[in-house]
């Protein structure tokens, strides 16, 4: 009988609590409904949202990639609310609970990134610990602190400084191309002279060696020593799957909880590794008076005020510290390890699928190197205009970051064009600049999905609509290291294409399917291509 009485008591309690549970559920749903009316109250069209996941359902369930999701937002198909139309210059969506405004017009991009930069000068704040190295990077810094450090760092990435770094980069390019050439020579007869290779791994190892030698002063050979600590650490911090993916999701959903749990954006192990590595390098160079023409040396000179003229400023300048150097070095590694290697991978993929473009590039490389006496130098790379066109078109089709954000620093009105009421944005609002969408918009780019390097020729590049090409960002917050990234990609491609011809193979991703994991634009299943020695 005891069990019967217990069951009856539990049943009675359940019925007693049922109205309260129903009321709580109704309150939650009502709050969600009111929250999701955010854009309707602002007079902006928006994508419908579901409780808790917002407009991110497909992305959260990995049914689409971030670049494809960005293209969907930019296309504005399926928006509802006021002024819901295909030409709406601003549309809203919900990144889980956070409302985000997507900019869909070149004139507005100019306003946000240039004309009214003071209103949109920061990225959204990262919920990092005060001592987290990434929180000291230029990407994460805000307001005055960002402005001062940007001014101090800018002279480190001029054309003259890139010339000084060229030999370090070229040595890594020669090392990687020699590895590829050797593998091609060792092929068995049944391979028909084609060596199949996953180029993402190949170019990531090259990028790792470049960053190690040019930013940290560490000599690496990721082809001869494939499991070196530097390479393994790079794979760790750029992997957003598993537990690390959950941590990144927590940073987005519950930033205050992430800080409370003392979670690190990089991870404790990576943070300690870079601190130790850079601290030892700085101490050794100071003690022994070592000079090495690399990025670390340039940052030391910026710290000491010996790098370029100081920008005129009425306020006292913020001192650059060793911690700041560590933060920039980590950002350099974080960005360069993955994004530059993806640029090289997509370039090779497109060249393999367009043999006429590859043949033209082969001819240009051969002519430029021969004109330099058979030796690749900085000036020879600078003369390769078609190489620059190929990389520019690759970055248009496959920008490493599909979108970047800006935070509104103070209340502002944006003019939306004739016949539309101005949009009122408030302090703290977050905007998305959909790079992938703008660079594939048929309003600005004829045949937007076609690979056509001629768009960037001297005869045609003046036709490019202003503020529609922004693979490195726009305005004062444009990527500071874009010169370095392009030089690195050019050197790698020249060394590789000087030796081999690229061809598609059975495992080549055709048509291109984009990876549904991670934050960068990448190929699902890797970048498999064939390489054959040039006769």
**DSSP per-residue string spanning 302-347:** HHTT-SSPPPP-SSPPPPP-HHHHHHHHHHHHHHIIIIIHHHHHHH
CATH class of 137-399+439-533: mainly alpha
pLDDT value at residue 245: 65
Residues of the chain with pLDDT under 50: 130, 309-317
pLDDT value at residue 315: 44
Q: What is d(CA 288, CA 344) in angstroms, rounded to the nearest whole number?
A: 37
Q: What is d(CA 521, CA 394) in angstroms, rounded to the nearest whole number?
A: 12
pLDDT value at residue 312: 46
Which residues face 54 on adjacent strands?
50, 95
For the chain, helix (H) and strand (E) counts, in that order, are: 20, 9
Q: What is d(CA 70, CA 55) in angstroms, rounded to the nearest whole number?
A: 12
**Contact yes or no for 83/450 (Cβ under 8 A):** no
pLDDT value at residue 428: 92
Tokens of 500: 């081999």
Q: Are strands 430-433 and 404-407 parallel, antiparallel or unpaired?
A: antiparallel
Distance between first and last Cα of the chain? 92
pLDDT value at residue 314: 40
Tokens of 25: 């559920």
Radius of gyration of the chain from its Cα atoms, rounded to whole angstroms: 26
| Percentage helix, strand, coil for the chain under 3-state DSSP, each rounded to 5 | 55, 10, 35
Q: What is d(CA 129, CA 123) in angstroms, rounded to the nearest whole number?
A: 17
348 is in an annotated binding site: no
């Amino acid at each position: 009988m005891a069990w019967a009485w217990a069951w009856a008591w539990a049943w009675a309690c359940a019925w007693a609590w049922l109205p309260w549970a129903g009321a709580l559920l109704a309150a939650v749903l009502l709050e969600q409904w009111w929250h999701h009316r955010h854009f309707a109250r602002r007079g902006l069209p928006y994508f419908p949202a579901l409780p808790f996941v917002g407009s991110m359902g497909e992305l959260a369930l990995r049914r689409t990639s971030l670049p494809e999701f960005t293209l969907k937002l930019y296309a504005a198909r399926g928006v509802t609310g006021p002024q819901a139309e295909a030409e709406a210059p601003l549309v809203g969506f919900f990144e889980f609970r956070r409302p985000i405004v997507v900019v869909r017009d070149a004139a507005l991009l100019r306003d946000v990134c240039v004309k009214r930069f003071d209103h949109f000068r920061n990225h959204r704040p990262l919920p990092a610990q005060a001592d987290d190295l990434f929180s000291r990077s230029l990407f994460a810094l805000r307001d005055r602190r960002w402005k001062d450090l940007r001014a101090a760092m800018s002279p480190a990435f001029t054309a003259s400084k890139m010339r000084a770094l060229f030999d370090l980069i070229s040595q890594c390019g020669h090392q990687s191309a020699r590895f590829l050439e050797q593998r091609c020579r060792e092929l068995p007869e049944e391979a028909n002279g084609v060596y199949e290779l996953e180029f993402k791994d190949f170019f990531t190892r090259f990028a790792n060696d470049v960053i190690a030698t040019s930013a940290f002063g560490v000599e690496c050979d990721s082809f001869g020593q494939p499991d070196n600590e530097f390479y393994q650490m790079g794979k760790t911090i750029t992997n957003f799957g598993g537990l690390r993916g959950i941590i990144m999701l927590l940073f987005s959903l519950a930033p205050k909880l992430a800080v409370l749990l003392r979670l690190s954006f990089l991870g404790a192990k990576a943070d300690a590794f870079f601190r130790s590595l850079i601290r030892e390098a700085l101490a050794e160079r100071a003690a022994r008076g070592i000079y090495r023409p690399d990025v670390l040396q340039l940052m030391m000179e910026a710290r000491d005020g010996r790098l370029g003229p100081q920008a005129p400023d009425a306020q006292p300048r913020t001192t650059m510290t060793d911690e700041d150097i560590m933060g920039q070095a980590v950002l350099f590694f974080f960005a360069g390890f993955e994004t530059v290697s993806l640029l090289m991978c997509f370039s090779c993929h497109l060249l393999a699928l367009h043999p006429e473009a590859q043949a033209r590039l082969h001819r240009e490389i051969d002519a430029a190197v021969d004109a330099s006496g058979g030796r690749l130098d900085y000036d020879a790379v600078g003369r390769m205009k078609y190489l620059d066109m190929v990389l520019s078109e690759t970055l248009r089709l496959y920008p490493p970051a599909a979108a970047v954000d800006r935070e509104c620093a103070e209340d502002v009105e944006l003019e939306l064009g004739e016949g539309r009421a101005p949009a009122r944005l408030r302090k703290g609002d977050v905007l998305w600049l959909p790079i992938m969408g703008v660079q594939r918009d048929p309003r600005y780019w004829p045949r937007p999905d076609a690979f056509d390097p001629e768009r960037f020729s001297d005869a045609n590049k003046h036709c490019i609509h202003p503020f529609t090409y922004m693979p490195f960002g726009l305005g004062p917050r444009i990527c500071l290291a874009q010169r370095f990234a392009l030089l690195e990609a050019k050197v790698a491609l020249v060394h590789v294409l000087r030796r081999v011809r690229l061809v598609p193979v059975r495992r080549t991703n055709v048509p291109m399917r984009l990876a549904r994991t991670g934050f960068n634009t990448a190929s699902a299943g890797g970048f498999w291509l064939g390489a054959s020695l040039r006769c």
